[in-house]
């Protein structure tokens, strides 16, 4: 295999303060705002890429994702520990949607919307010691527009990256600790996944892709 071409970029710091553990970046194309959270500080942030305005609100630690709700300006779904909440940015208030992984020492990790607006998210064990994660405590879930949660995969250690093929027939999911990429057959109409292939990564390559970021379709 030929080597990858050298990639050069000019990097510029745009945050006026330090983020300890940045998670869940989501770009809203309509508003030009980039949202993200800080798991350690419990902060929700947005950057207006047009004006470079930067705003933040804070809750308790444990936030890992933030996704705008379709058709509801200023409202988002966020995760805190094992739960999902709706966030009203202007009121700085949260309402519980659901809690998963009952009786487990886990938290939500990555989350992303599928092409139809369902929110898919995974869980993982809390890192009680540096680099130490209890295996197979995490799971993969989805939240539909009726606020119903479906369990799709268990026995996950670190639920991480999620993506869908442009033809809406494949769903990709990563377990970082296992160094595995799970490739499922995906039905966009029903939100079901089936048959899967597991690829174990032994070498790391950088691939450039273009992705859009759907919003949550939530009543």
Summarize the annotated binding site for substrate as residue ranges: 107, 109, 127
Give the separation between CA 153 and CA 15, rounded to whole angstroms: 36
Tell me the binding residues for a divalent metal cation: 23, 160
Give the separation between CA 32 and CA 53, rounded to whole angstroms: 11
CA dihedral 175, 150, 80, 92 (to 10 degrees): 140
Give the separation between CA 198 and CA 182, rounded to whole angstroms: 5
Tokens of 55: 């705003």
Tell me the binding residues: 23, 107, 109, 127, 160
Give the separation between CA 45 and CA 18, rounded to whole angstroms: 12
Burial class (CB in 10 A: 0-12, 13-18, 19+), 192: middle
């Amino acid at each position: 295999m030929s080597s990858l071409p050298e990639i050069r970029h000019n990097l510029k710091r745009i945050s006026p303060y330090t983020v300890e553990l940045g998670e869940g970046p989501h770009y809203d194309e309509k508003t030009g705002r980039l949202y993200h959270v800080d798991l350690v500080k419990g902060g929700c942030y947005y950057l207006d890429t047009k004006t470079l305005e930067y705003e933040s609100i804070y809750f308790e630690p444990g936030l890992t994702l933030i996704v705008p709700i379709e058709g509801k300006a200023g409202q988002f779904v966020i995760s805190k520990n094992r739960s999902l909440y709706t966030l009203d940015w202007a009121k700085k208030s949260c309402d519980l949607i659901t809690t998963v992984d009952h009786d487990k020492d886990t938290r939500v990790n990555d989350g992303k919307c599928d092409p139809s607006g369902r929110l898919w998210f995974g869980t993982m064990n809390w890192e009680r010691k540096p680099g130490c994660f209890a295996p197979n405590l995490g799971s993969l879930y989805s939240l539909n527009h009726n606020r119903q949660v479906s369990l799709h995969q268990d026995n996950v250690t670190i639920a991480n990256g999620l993506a869908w093929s442009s033809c809406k027939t494949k769903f990709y999911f990563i377990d970082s600790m296992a160094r595995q990429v799970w490739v499922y057959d995906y039905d966009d109409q029903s939100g079901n996944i089936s048959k899967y292939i597991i690829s174990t990564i032994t070498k790391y390559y950088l691939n450039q892709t273009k992705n859009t970021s759907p919003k949550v379709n939530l009543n």
